[in-house]
Amino acid sequence: MASSTAGQVIKCKAAVVWAAGEPLKIEEVEVAPPQANEVRIKVHYTALCHTDLYFWDAKGQKPLFPRILGHEAAGVVESVGEGVTDLKAGDSVLPVFTGECGECRHCKSEESNMCDLLRINTDRGVMINDGKSRFSINGTPIYHFLGTSTFSEYTVAHVGSVAKINPAAPLNKVCILSCGVSTGMGATLNVAKPKKGSTVAIFGLGGVGLSAAEGARIAGASRIIGIDLNSDRFEKAKLFGVTEFINPLEHEKPIQEGWGVAVLVGVPHSDAVFATSPVNFLNERTLKGTFFGNYKPRSDLPGLVELYLEKKLELEKFITHEVSFADINKAFDYMIKGESLRCVINVIGD
């Protein structure tokens, strides 16, 4: 059944960043109808990820403002654009910062999720279809973020970046699967691929790092070593299967000596580089990288939701805080202070 607002401009509230590092401001924005191969989503819950923080303060990243951030969320389809056949109004969905066109060489490969059309693009602030924004305030365009912009009551995304999920899934829990948890778990399960009984070391025990620990637990690792400069994180990490802890500040020698597979995860500073001797790789060391844990959004996310519903994947332990949409800046405060793993923002206000 078609939505009563289909084809119309929707006025709603959104948290807008007007300049780097400034508090987000709740504004009334206009959200245009979805164009060809696009979906307009009513956002129910969104969570704050460190990537939002990086682009909010724009240190080491290209500043692009005014902008609506947010990329870890869950909601319900309000309407669809021309050519969209596998989603309809009322479907429960997870919008994702990367995508799956289903046609390119990467989408057809079992080894890659780097879709030629929809792979992550942190600099793009408009829609692919026509190079325009679907958000505006009094005629002034407001930039998109990662093709999702979920710090808004309504958002528009490319259909290839929207995963349809089981309607029985609680959206205030599964929203965190659309970025951090999947990224960390997939880095372990899909990229590092530890065998049962392996030893896994995780550098950084934030939300993504603990998700990697969860992946190691699921894989059957016998030792899961958590490494962080903040020893206060160690007690919480035990809930995720971490068995041993190391604070590098308490050691005089480097702790990363050894061999094995290393996986890089996260969004680096735009000028970040590293150098190493080729001999390090010859000595049985492998270096890999991943975005979104090598999961294909539309193909794989529904399965992760089912794992949660079957109680094989725990999500509640990741969610340390919840705030109202009006208090979204508190979520930033919690993250800056290192107090939260995931703060869920109640956009729908139920």
Catalytic residue among 38, 67, 101, 153: 101
The residues, ordered by sequence, that sit 6+ positions from 319 with a Cβ below 8 Å of its Cβ are: 47, 173, 176, 341, 342, 343, 344
Report residue 208 as tokens: 């993504």
Please pick, among 5, 12, 50, 306, the residue that the annotation labels catalytic.
50
Q: How does strand 223-227 pair with strand 260-265?
A: unpaired
Catalytic residue among 44, 67, 71, 298: 71
Q: Which tokens go with 102? A: 């289903």
User: Looking at 46, 51, 150, 183, which residue is catalytic?
Assistant: 51
Catalytic hit among 46, 115, 175, 298: 115
Please name the residues in contact with 109: beta carbons below 8 A apart, sequence gap of 6 or more. Answer: none
Catalytic residue among 179, 217, 290, 298: 179
- The catalytically annotated residue of 49, 158, 214, 321 is 49
Longest dimension (CA), the chain: 65
252 assigned to active site:
no
- Whether 144 is a known active-site residue: answer no
**In contact, 134 and 120? CB cutoff 8 Å:** no
How far, in Å, are 101, 110, 123, 179 from residue 106 at the CA level? 9, 8, 21, 19
Q: 46 an active-site residue?
A: no
- Is 306 designated active site? no
343: annotated active-site residue: no
50 is catalytic: yes
- Residue 40 designated active-site: no
Report DSSP letters for 1-27, one per residue: ---TTTTS-EEEEEEEB-STTPPPEEE
In the set 107, 155, 214, 290, the catalytic residue is: 107
The residue from 40, 67, 217, 342 that is catalytic is 342
Catalytic pick among 27, 38, 67, 72: 72
Q: Is 285 a catalytic residue?
A: no
175 catalytic residue (yes or no): no
Q: Note if 44 is an active site residue.
A: no
* β-sheet bridge partners, residue 343: 321
Got the DSSP string for 309-327? HTTSS--GGGEEEEEEGGG
Considering the candidates 104, 199, 285, 320, report the single residue annotated as catalytic: 104
Residues carrying an active site annotation: 49-51, 71-72, 101, 104, 107, 115, 119, 179, 342
